[in-house]
């Protein structure tokens, strides 16, 4: 039982591999399992609750990354940092079989995505960078925005799997998916700061906060950020759909000038630089593992409204 590119993907034949079973990865892997696919995963901690839950859903746990690569037609990775991706692929890439496909859903660096693509092709395999947006709700409900890049025909071939997770958009050659995710993070950061400041102003003005959200929902200020995070901000619910420290990492890839970069690669983004500092203050305050909606706590502290502690 196997389905390697370009043979059609089917639940009965295609073997899925998975690395990364945190908040997002676990929900995504669970959806693949629920769609009837055979899924094998690797976890450094076999006793992690999410590992136990996946096994209870019918998944198999691989003993090593190399074994996982050998057992997979399509291998997804959903980890935290570019350094994690590099470490994983050092073990996974040499073990990939010709015409297997690795899909990296991690928010990582465009240059690393291009390197992985080149290395995979040298081995006769394929690589797609496909970071996602939509948080824990999107991962659970299968409504993620997927920014897919690499060989267009391979991305199209992956549609049966992407459609379980959300909606994919082809962004271009390898690395373009990661560039899109960085631009996405710049945009969502502006939204989160804006929602936070709107709520703080509304609170000081004596408005009913739920009424405020309802009032602006259908106007120009309405946004996905407002829908997903507005009520959570009011409730002080900062449980992570994605860690704030990861958002800081993503913003850094957009605003930090890399040594050796050419002039046409440098983009001056004053707003994003400020937002990075605001979210970095959460990390400095020990809130790096909270959800990014916790940015409202930063705005509260600035305004002497630190009532949650």
- Cβ count near 271 (within 10 Å): 12
Strand-strand pairing, 132-133 and 101-104: unpaired
Judge contact between 303 and 199, C-beta under 8 A.
Answer: no
Rg (CA), the chain: 20
Q: 35: exposed, middle or buried (C-beta count within 10 Å: 0-12, 13-18, 19+)?
A: middle
DSSP code of residue 8: P
Whether residue 153 lies in the annotated active site: no
Residue of 153, 181, 203, 210 marked catalytic: 181
192-217 burial code (b ≥16 CB/10 A, e <16): bbebbebbbebbeeeeebeebbeebe
Alpha-carbon distance of 186 to 278, in angstroms, equals 13
Residue extents of the structural domains in the chain: 15-174, 180-302
**Whose CA is closest to 295, among 232, 222, 210?**
232
User: What count of other Cβ atoms lies within 10 Å of the Cβ of residue 243?
Assistant: 21
Q: Is the pLDDT of residue 257 over 90?
A: no
pLDDT at position 308 over 70: no
User: Which band of pLDDT confidence, cut at 50, 70 and 90, is reported for residue 309?
Assistant: very low
Q: Are 210 and 306 in contact (CB under 8 A)?
A: no
Cα 101 off chain centre by? 19
- C-alpha of 308 from chain center: 28
Q: How many Cα atoms within 13 Å fall on the side-chain side of residue 37? A: 28
pLDDT tens readout for residues 190-208: 999 999 999 999 999 999 9
Has domain 15-174 been given CATH number 3.30.360.10?
no
Supply φ then ψ for residue 149, to 5 degrees.
-145, 155
pLDDT tens per residue, range 258-305: 545 566 777 889 999 999 999 999 999 999 999 999 999 999 999 999
**CA dihedral angle for residue 56, residue 60, residue 63, residue 67, rounded to 10 degrees:** -160
Give yes or no for residue 83 having a pLDDT over 60: yes
Of the options 2.40.110.10, 3.90.1150.10, 1.10.490.10, 1.10.1040.10, the CATH number for the domain spanning 180-302: 1.10.1040.10
């Amino acid at each position: 039982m196997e389905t390697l590119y370009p043979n059609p993907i089917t639940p009965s034949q295609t073997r899925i591999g998975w690395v990364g079973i945190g908040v997002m990865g676990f929900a995504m892997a669970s959806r693949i399992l629920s769609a009837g696919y055979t899924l094998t995963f690797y976890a450094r901690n076999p006793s992690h609750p999410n590992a136990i839950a996946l096994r209870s859903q019918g998944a198999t746990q691989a003993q090593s990354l190399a074994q996982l690569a050998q057992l997979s037609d399509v291998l997804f990775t959903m980890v935290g940092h570019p350094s994690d991706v590099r470490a994983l692929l050092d073990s996974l890439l040499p073990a990939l079989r010709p015409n297997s496909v690795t899909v990296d859903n991690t928010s990582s660096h465009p240059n690393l995505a291009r390197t992985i693509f080149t290395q995979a092709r040298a081995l006769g395999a394929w690589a797609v960078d496909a970071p996602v947006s939509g948080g824990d709700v999107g991962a659970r409900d299968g409504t993620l925005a997927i920014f897919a890049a690499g060989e267009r025909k391979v991305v199209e071939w992956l549609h049966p799997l992407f459609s379980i997770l959300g909606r994919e958009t082809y962004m271009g050659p390898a690395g373009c998916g990661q560039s899109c995710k960085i631009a996405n993070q710049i945009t969502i950061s502006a939204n989160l700061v804006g929602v936070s400041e709107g709520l703080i102003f509304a609170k000081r003005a004596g408005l009913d906060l739920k009424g405020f959200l309802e009032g602006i929902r259908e106007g120009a200020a309405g946004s996905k950020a407002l829908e997903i995070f507005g009520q959570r901000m009011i409730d002080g619910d900062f449980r992570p759909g994605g860690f704030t420290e990861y958002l800081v990492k993503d913003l850094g890839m957009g605003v930090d000038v890399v040594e050796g970069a050419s002039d046409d690669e440098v983009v001056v983004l004053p707003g994003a630089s400020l937002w990075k500092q605001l979210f970095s203050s959460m990390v400095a305050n020990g809130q790096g593992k909270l959800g990014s909606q916790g940015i409202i706590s930063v705005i509260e502290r600035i305004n002497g409204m630190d009532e949650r502690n």
